[in-house]
Amino acid sequence: MLNVISNIPFLIIGLVGLVLCHYRNYFKLSLQGEVWGWTCFYIGVAAVAFGSSYYHLRPNDARLVWDRLPMTVAFTSLVAIFIIERVDEQKGTASILPLLLAGIISILYWRFFDDLRPYAVVQFLPCIALPFMAVLLPPMYTHSTYWLWAAAFYLFAKIEEAEDKPIYELTHDIVSGHTLKHLCAACVPVFLTLMLAKRTIERE
């Protein structure tokens, strides 16, 4: 039950972020590619609530597709956003659709060929690359440290997922590591939303 209920924060922050992306340009997004990228990201985050809940109500491989698909949309969108902000606007904007398709194809490849390697690359490569890019490449905006906070909480989420059973036993079979993983992972879009709300153009 808690593995289902703990998905509610994804829906809330996904919808909030999606509204703020488009309502009077609250986030002050100056590039069209940013608008598309962040829109895809928040759609993916909100969809996690439905896909993950659907899977946890009756776990099986067929339902797991709908759990992983929205996460992949969110991951690949972030990569495109980072390219727009830190590398090149045009290249980043042009990469949105190919990256989304690559993520979707990795899910389908796993489903039909029972091979998780492409999906693992799509999921974990951004987790490694984005923090390094955040440190090494000059930011376009202020408050870029929120990227690192988001990465840290995602790392905590993966640790909690790996320690699912020990955490469940430690809490006397009340809260599993996977439930805590959902809550920590939901902090990722929270930090990124705070970043968008606070940031301004970085002055040279």
Secondary structure tally for the chain: helices H, strands E: 9, 0
CB burial of 16-52 (b: ≥16 within 10 Å; e: otherwise) equals: bbbebbeeeeebebebebbbbbbbbbbbbbbbbbbbb
* Phi, psi angle pair for 45, to nearest 5°: -65, -45
- Supply the DSSP symbol for 115: -
Contact 44, 74 (CB under 8 A): yes
pLDDT for 131-186, tens place per residue? 787 778 888 888 888 988 998 999 999 999 999 999 989 888 888 999 999 999 99
Percent of residues, the chain, with pLDDT higher than 90: 61
d(CA 48, CA 4): 11
User: Rg of the chain's alpha carbons, rounded to an integer?
Assistant: 17
**Which residue in this structure is represented by tokens 């492409």?**
118
Tell me: the pLDDT tens digits for 40-99?
999 999 999 999 999 999 998 889 999 999 999 999 999 999 899 888 899 999 999 999
